[in-house]
């Protein structure tokens, strides 16, 4: 069989190669596939595109060249107990005290690999262990909350250093947040209607939160309030009423929104700091304030804002299950 081959001069081939887009990143360059937006662009794209970008950010494998890692800060956001021993390789990952993941979807992927889902036992998190620099259980380490010594002066054991929790599914989180906002509004209305010397029964949507009282001078008494964290009960006097904000995320009820959850998780698990929480240069990893990758402007950085939009849009799990087997 005869074949006709087109001859191309070497110079033409080199010219075509130079004009073509690069097929591979430069050697030594490790970047996730996520392409960030410029500031303000998140307002110019559609909700659907923002949600799609949220899934891309959720699945992205963040690398140190994109700001992943926190050499000089803990997972709780404070400086290391021992600043002379930074969390550089090979101490840049720790399964117990974190940083412990490159990607949100590395843990939140069940069922069927769905972004925002739950996870296997192996993906669980040791809640509160991130207050340690780098958990080692080394009894020769005498620096408090560095690797072994806890706040009481004793050496921590695994079950006390952190509270192991399964990776939760985030399906329906947007509905949960909006419900908490509505209930907060109800509680605050009852609070506002409570006169000096009176009391109000705090109830919303069939859920009771106890009783709020005021003395004759107008001071607030929250000793009878139930189910709300301390920060929602704080008051300094008659003109400073307790917020009564319902914080629906975390078992302690301490996180008010998907956005706050996202800001905390990026630092805890990935070592990436958003400027709206940390400002600039908090972890000294060479990425100025993470401003290139997690910068914020009102609605927030493209990662924060888009990931928040994705989680807020995911339907409750029972609806996902029903829709999976329905006709298109």
Instruction: Convert 75-87 into a string of H (helix), E (strand) and C (coil).
Output: CCCCECCCCCCCC
Determine the average pLDDT of the residues in 16-44: 68
The residues, ordered by sequence, that sit 6+ positions from 319 with a Cβ below 8 Å of its Cβ are none
pLDDT computed for residue 67 by the predictor: 81
Cis before residue 115, ω within 30 degrees of 0? no
Residues 209 and 308 placed together within one structural domain of the fold: yes
Determine the average pLDDT of the residues in 210-220: 98
d(CA 271, CA 278): 12
> What domain count does the chain have?
2
The residues, ordered by sequence, that sit 6+ positions from 55 with a Cβ below 8 Å of its Cβ are 115, 310
| Residue 17 in domain | no
What percent of the chain has a predicted confidence (pLDDT) above 70?
81
Residue pair 146/134 in contact by the 8 Å Cβ criterion: yes
- Structure confidence at residue 326 as a pLDDT band (50, 70, 90): very low
Question: 5-14, 74-83, 214-223, 299-308 — which is least confidently predicted?
Answer: 5-14
Determine the average pLDDT of the residues in 191-208: 98
Residues 183 and 325 placed together within one structural domain of the fold: yes
Residues 324 and 262 placed together within one structural domain of the fold: yes
Residues 58 and 69 placed together within one structural domain of the fold: no
- Tokens at 44, concatenated: 């110019």
Q: Which of 246, 272, 213, 280 is nearest to 71 (CA)?
A: 272
Q: Is the confidence at residue 95, as pLDDT, over 90?
A: yes
Question: 67-71, 193-197, 228-232 — which is least confidently predicted?
Answer: 67-71
Residues 144 and 278 placed together within one structural domain of the fold: no
Residues 93 and 238 placed together within one structural domain of the fold: no
pLDDT computed for residue 247 by the predictor: 97
| Residue 26 in domain | no
Residues 293 and 326 placed together within one structural domain of the fold: yes
More confident residue, 212 or 30: 212
Determine the average pLDDT of the residues in 274-285: 66
Determine the average pLDDT of the residues in 93-105: 95
Residues 57 and 130 placed together within one structural domain of the fold: no
Q: Which of 317, 319, 265, 318 is nearest to 294 (CA)?
A: 265
What's the domain range around 217? 37-62+170-328
| Residue 6 in domain | no
- The helix (H) or strand (E) run that includes residue 221 is strand 220-221
| Average pLDDT value for the chain | 84
d(CA 63, CA 54): 18
Which residue shows structure tokens 């958003």?
Answer: 274
Q: Is the confidence at residue 160, as pLDDT, over 80?
A: yes
Residues 197 and 133 placed together within one structural domain of the fold: no
Query: Across the beta sheet with 207-214, what order do the strands follow?
Result: 199-204, 207-214, 220-221
Residue pair 278/267 in contact by the 8 Å Cβ criterion: yes
Q: Which of 280, 250, 285 is nearest to 265 (CA)?
A: 250
Residues 152 and 274 placed together within one structural domain of the fold: no
Determine the average pLDDT of the residues in 65-92: 92
Q: Is the confidence at residue 32, as pLDDT, over 60?
A: yes
Q: Which of 165, 189, 218 is the last residue of a domain?
A: 165
| Residue 201 in domain | yes
More confident residue, 302 or 239: 239
- Name the CA radius of gyration of the chain, rounded: 25
Q: Is the confidence at residue 38, as pLDDT, over 80?
A: no
Q: Which of 100, 48, 32 is nearest to 293 (CA)?
A: 32
Residues 157 and 187 placed together within one structural domain of the fold: no
Q: Which of 110, 108, 49 is nearest to 321 (CA)?
A: 110
Residues 224 and 280 placed together within one structural domain of the fold: yes
More confident residue, 157 or 28: 157
- CA distances to 84, 265, 306, 315 from 79, rounded to whole Å, are 11, 17, 28, 38
| Residue 145 in domain | yes
pLDDT computed for residue 63 by the predictor: 87
């Amino acid at each position: 069989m005869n074949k006709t081959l087109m001859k191309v001069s070497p110079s033409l081939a080199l010219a075509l190669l130079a004009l073509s887009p690069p097929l591979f990143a430069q050697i030594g360059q490790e970047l996730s596939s996520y392409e960030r937006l410029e500031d303000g662009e998140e307002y110019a794209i559609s909700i659907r595109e923002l949600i799609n970008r949220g899934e891309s950010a959720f699945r992205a494998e963040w690398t140190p060249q994109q700001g992943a890692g926190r050499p000089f800060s803990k997972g709780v956001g404070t400086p290391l107990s021992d600043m002379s021993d930074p969390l550089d390789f090979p101490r840049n990952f720790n399964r117990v005290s974190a940083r412990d993941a490159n990607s949100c979807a590395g843990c939140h992927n069940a069922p069927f690999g769905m972004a925002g889902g739950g996870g296997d036992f192996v993906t669980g998190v040791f809640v509160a262990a991130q207050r340690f620099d780098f958990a080692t259980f080394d009894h020769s380490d005498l620096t408090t909350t560095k690797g072994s010594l806890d706040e009481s002066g004793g050496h921590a054991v695994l079950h006390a250093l952190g509270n192991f929790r399964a990776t939760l599914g985030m399906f329906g989180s947007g509905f949960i947040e909006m419900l908490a906002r509505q209930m907060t509004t109800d509680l605050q209305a009852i609070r506002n209607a409570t006169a000096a010397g009176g009391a109000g029964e705090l109830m919303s949507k069939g859920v009771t939160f106890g009783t709020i009282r005021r003395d004759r001078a107008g001071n607030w008494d929250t000793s009878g309030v139930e189910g709300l964290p301390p920060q929602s009960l704080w008051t300094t006097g008659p003109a400073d009423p307790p917020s009564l904000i319902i914080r629906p995320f975390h078992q302690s009820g301490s996180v008010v929104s998907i956005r706050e959850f996202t800001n905390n998780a990026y630092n805890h698990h990935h070592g990436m700091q958003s400027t709206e929480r940390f400002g600039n240069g908090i972890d000294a990893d060479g990425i100025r304030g993470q401003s290139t990758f997690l910068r914020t402007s009102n609605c927030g950085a493209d990662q924060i804002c888009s990931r928040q939009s994705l989680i807020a849009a995911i339907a409750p799990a029972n609806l996902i299950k029903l829709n999976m087997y329905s006709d298109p």
